[in-house]
Amino acid sequence: MWLRIDTIEQALRDEGVKVWAQGYVVAYALAAENLRLGQVVVADMVNPLPLTRAAWAAVAARAGVRAVEFEFVCSDAAEHRRRMEARVADIPGHRVPTWADVLAHEYEPWDRPVRRIDTAGRAVENVVAEVLAVLP
């Protein structure tokens, strides 16, 4: 199951909810339920803080499954900016972040080991292959 935070948060905004943590809380609940049903869950979002990282780890622990965490980065700032500025909203009503939004976004380094994947100069297929190589 693919849980995309942008989709969840936009659905909440469409209903007039001023979104802060609500999207993540909904995603945690959906993930937990699907993990209990035996589904593999891919949680797709910016995960910039120890608080949210711990929450995802707790979801997996409560479901009795292993969490596999990835941090995707683009070490080439020019390429990263070009990607952000070329991004097109694919969810009705969704506003994609600007480069200024990316630079202003709160981020704290991981306090535990994480599978860090640098996407700079790489084809999507190669990144996907690297991810699949570490999954069961």
pLDDT per residue as tens digits for the range 5-51: 999 999 999 999 999 999 999 999 999 999 999 999 999 999 999 99
Q: Which of 45, 39, 50, 15 is nearest to 27 (CA)?
A: 45
Domain membership of residue 12 as a residue range: 2-134
pLDDT tens per residue across span 93-128: 999 999 999 999 999 999 999 999 999 999 999 999
Residue 79 belongs to domain with CATH number: 3.40.50.300
**Structurally, how many domains does the chain consist of?**
1
How much is the pTM? 0.90
The residues near 57 (Cβ < 8 Å, ≥ 6 apart) are 67, 69
Q: CA 102, 105, 109, 110 torsion: positive or negative? A: negative
